């Protein structure tokens, strides 16, 4: 403290607040775990423990994968042998058919007694050909699909495991962003893909909590489940495919034995039989071709079902050009709002919520977790409509206001700001052109200065043109918040909504973000949701929520005097 250095400033920035030792420790543990843990989890270690390491690892072939490498991955080489043998036998069916066909033609020139005695023999041979075709084609199709599906499953499991065991620096590479990694494993059914995607996005948490093994098991189980479903589909398809092929030979034998009776009784000539047999050959060729579409047809049906479902889902939101566009000053009123999320219709989140916020003032929403604070914000943005009650802005029910216009009047800063993989300038000006506004460089700089992010941006070699990575991954949490605040300031909204905007930051960042938010709030009606009660002490009004209604309302000092819920919340927080 005496040195008045960085530590001194940190302590000062916490101004009268208890040192959040627990969080500090977590940050330090996180760093040391990542440093030490990442070393311990390097790829080679993993490969050494892995079955693939005994062979030539597939990961050494990332640029040019050889067919032999693919064969090395399969854990069922005998299935490849079965496939090859079945294919060889199945390949003989056409030459055999040609031999049988030639033999049949020859029969028609024989004397009638000899012809009749040979008919059954040759028909039987068609029957056998048809049986062998069913067995060989279905075996070849089943075994080969099993080999490829197994191989793909194995590759995905091992790739996923390898990704989870990488050092954090691996994920900083532009080719290893969560979206790109997820896309590599993207040919999964949605459920499997979502597990993969979440763990890529939250890789720090996964590694910190040592969840690699668990996540890997969950992924593997989901993959195996989907693999089992695919197997069932493959079995049906393979058998259908082989039966369609074999049916031709069967029909041919049947037509021959049946036709021969007509020839013997003089009802048909040999020429008629030739015609029928030839027509059967042509028809069978076409039938064979159509079976190739069976698989695609199944997939298309599934895809179309999903699309039709999405296409026909009605929207309860009005069209973009509907609704009034009144001048907005910023007086907000919630009147007996009752609301349940559609997904949980039986649980009322807001049970008669009423609150008034006058123009230019700041109201803080506090309360226990799940009391409905964020829901209030979502309703004001019209992400949902209340089941009962009204939300008014300057006396007009927001249900009557054009949704796009309403949102253009509201700035929203959340704990995890939505940033994009583009430059700082593009992120700050994001959505401005949709408002029909043109902003100058000076406007952008002014907004960034008010959000206390200009100095940082100016210190970067590429300044405002610096790319900030996917979801702003190249920025710190506080910097991300300040970029989002600069964006909100530039939009110049009449109403500002801050949803837990500082709860994830360390004390120093929190102070800067707090100052930036104070600037952003100036002259605007603000609704702030915060977990750290210290950040809302200066609000004009604090609404304490419990079970979907406001239970206490007043200033910080007034509420402390009441010694009710707020008092106990404050006490509990400082005690912690
Ligand atoms: N999209 C949703 N679908 C279904 N239920 C939801 C949804 N969002 C929130 N809920 C539920 O609504 C209730 C209120 O959630 P809300 O996020 O508004 O609470 P909160 O007071 O902001 O909580 P916290 O302080 O923990 O963020 C919770 O029980 C939550 O589980």
Task: Spell out the SS3 assignment of 300-329.
Answer: HHHHHHHHHHHHHCCCCCCCCCCCECCCCC
| Other C-beta atoms lying within 10 Å of the C-beta of residue 383 | 12
296 compared with 103, residue with greater pLDDT: 103
Pocket test for ligand 1, best of 374, 503, 532, 551 (most atoms within 8 A of CB): 374
206 compared with 100, residue with greater pLDDT: 100
pLDDT tens profile 414-437: 877 888 888 999 999 988 877 778
Q: What percent of the chain has pLDDT over 90?
A: 20
User: Which residue's CA is minimally distant from atom 27 of ligand 1?
Assistant: 369
User: Which residue's CA is minimally distant from atom 31 of ligand 1?
Assistant: 370
State the pLDDT at residue 538: 82
**Gap between the Cα atoms of 57 and 451, Å rounded:** 50
pLDDT tens profile 56-66: 333 344 455 56
User: Which residue's CA is minimally distant from atom 24 of ligand 1?
Assistant: 369
Please give the distance, rounded to the nearest whole angstrom, from the Cα atom of residue 372 to the centre of ligand 1: 6
Of the listed ranges 30-44, 193-207, 561-575, the least confidently predicted one is 30-44
Ligand 1, atom nearest to 378 Cα? 18
User: Which residue's CA is minimally distant from atom 1 of ligand 1?
Assistant: 341
**Gap between the Cα atoms of 318 and 52, Å rounded:** 56
> Could you tell me whether strands 350-357 and 549-554 are parallel, antiparallel, or unpaired per DSSP bridges?
unpaired
Please give the distance, rounded to the nearest whole angstrom, from the Cα atom of residue 380 to the centre of ligand 1: 15
- Tell whether the model's pLDDT for residue 572 goes beyond 60: yes
What is the arithmetic mean of pLDDT over 363-368?
A: 91
pLDDT tens profile 470-492: 778 888 888 888 898 899 889 88
| Other C-beta atoms lying within 10 Å of the C-beta of residue 505 | 20
Whether 373 lines ligand 1, by a CB cut-off of 6 Å, is yes
354's enclosing H/E stretch is strand 350-357
DSSP state of 385: -
Ligand 1, atom nearest to 376 Cα? 18
pLDDT tens profile 275-312: 777 777 777 777 666 666 666 666 666 667 766 776 66
Please give the distance, rounded to the nearest whole angstrom, from the Cα atom of residue 386 to the centre of ligand 1: 15
Whether 472 lines ligand 1, by a CB cut-off of 6 Å, is no
State the pLDDT at residue 333: 96
pLDDT tens profile 203-245: 666 666 667 777 788 878 877 887 787 788 778 888 888 887 7
146 compared with 530, residue with greater pLDDT: 146
Whether 548 lines ligand 1, by a CB cut-off of 6 Å, is no
Please give the distance, rounded to the nearest whole angstrom, from the Cα atom of residue 136 to the centre of ligand 1: 58
Beta bridge partners of residue 552, listed in sequence order: 544
**Most confident segment among 31-40, 468-477, 486-495:** 486-495
- The CA distances from residue 214 to 111, 158, 218, 334, in Å, are 78, 14, 6, 45
Please give the distance, rounded to the nearest whole angstrom, from the Cα atom of residue 558 to the centre of ligand 1: 28
- Tell whether the model's pLDDT for residue 378 goes beyond 60: yes
Ligand 1, atom nearest to 499 Cα? 22
Please give the distance, rounded to the nearest whole angstrom, from the Cα atom of residue 370 to the centre of ligand 1: 5
Please give the distance, rounded to the nearest whole angstrom, from the Cα atom of residue 122 to the centre of ligand 1: 75
Whether 349 lines ligand 1, by a CB cut-off of 6 Å, is yes
């Amino acid at each position: 403290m005496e040195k008045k250095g960085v530590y001194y400033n940190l302590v000062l920035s916490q101004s009268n607040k208890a040192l959040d030792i627990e969080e500090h420790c977590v940050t330090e543990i996180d760093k040391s775990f990542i440093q030490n843990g990442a070393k311990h989890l390097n790829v080679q270690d993993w490969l050494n423990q892995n079955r693939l390491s005994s062979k030539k690892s597939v990961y050494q072939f990332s640029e040019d994968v050889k067919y032999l490498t693919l064969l090395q991955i399969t854990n069922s080489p005998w299935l490849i042998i079965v496939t090859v043998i079945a294919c060889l036998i199945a390949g003989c069916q056409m030459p055999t058919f040609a031999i049988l066909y030639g033999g049949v033609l020859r029969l028609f020139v024989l004397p009638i007694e000899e012809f009749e005695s040979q008919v059954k023999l040759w028909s039987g041979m068609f029957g056998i050909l048809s049986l062998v075709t069913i067995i060989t084609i279905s075996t070849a199709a089943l075994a080969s699909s099993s080999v490829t599906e197994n191989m793909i499953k194995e590759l995905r499991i091992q790739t996923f495991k390898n990704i989870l065991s990488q050092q954090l620096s691996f994920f900083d590479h532009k080719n290893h962003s969560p979206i790109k990694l997820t896309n590599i494993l993207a040919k999964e059914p949605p459920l499997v893909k979502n597990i993969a995607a979440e763990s890529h996005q939250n890789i720090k948490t996964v590694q910190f909590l040592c969840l690699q093994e668990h996540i890997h098991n969950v992924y593997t189980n989901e993959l195996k489940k989907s693999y089992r479903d695919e197997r069932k589909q493959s079995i049906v398809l393979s058998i259908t495919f082989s039966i369609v092929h074999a049916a031709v030979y069967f029909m041919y034998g049947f037509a021959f034995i049946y036709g021969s009776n007509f020839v013997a009784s003089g009802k048909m000539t040999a020429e008629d039989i030739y015609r029928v047999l030839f027509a059967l050959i042509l028809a069978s060729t076409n039938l064979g071709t159509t079976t190739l579409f069976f698989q695609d047809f199944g997939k298309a049906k599934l895809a179309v079902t999903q699309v039709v479902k999405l296409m026909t889902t009605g929207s309860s939101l009005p069209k973009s050009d509907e609704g009034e566009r009144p001048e907005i000053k910023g007086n907000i009123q919630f009147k007996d709002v009752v609301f349940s999320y559609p997904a949980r219709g039986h649980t009322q989140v807001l049970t008669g919520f009423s609150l008034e916020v006058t123009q230019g003032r700041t109201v803080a929403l506090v309360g226990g977790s799940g009391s409905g604070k964020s829901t209030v914000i979502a309703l004001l943005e019209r992400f949902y409509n209340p089941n009962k009650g009204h939300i008014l802005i300057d006396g007009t029910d927001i249900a009557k206001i054009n949704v796009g216009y309403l949102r253009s009047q509201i700035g929203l800063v959340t704990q995890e700001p939505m940033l994009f993989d583009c430059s700082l300038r593009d992120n700050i000006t994001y959505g401005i052109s949709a408002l029909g506004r043109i902003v100058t460089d000076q406007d952008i700089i002014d907004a960034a200065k008010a959000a206390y992010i200009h100095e940082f941006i100016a210190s970067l070699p590429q300044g405002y043109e610096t790319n900030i990575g996917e979801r702003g991954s190249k920025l710190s949490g506080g910097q991300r918040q300040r970029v989002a605040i600069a964006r909100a300031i530039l939009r110049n909204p009449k109403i500002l909504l801050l949803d837990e905007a500082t709860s994830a930051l360390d004390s120093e960042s929190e102070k800067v973000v707090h100052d930036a938010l104070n600037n952003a709030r100036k002259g605007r009606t603000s609704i702030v949701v915060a977990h750290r009660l210290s950040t809302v002490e200066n609000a004009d009004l604090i609404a304490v929520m419990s079970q979907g209604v406001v239970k206490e309302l007043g200033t910080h000092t007034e509420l402390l005097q009441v010694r009710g819920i707020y008092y106990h919340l404050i006490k509990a927080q400082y005690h912690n």
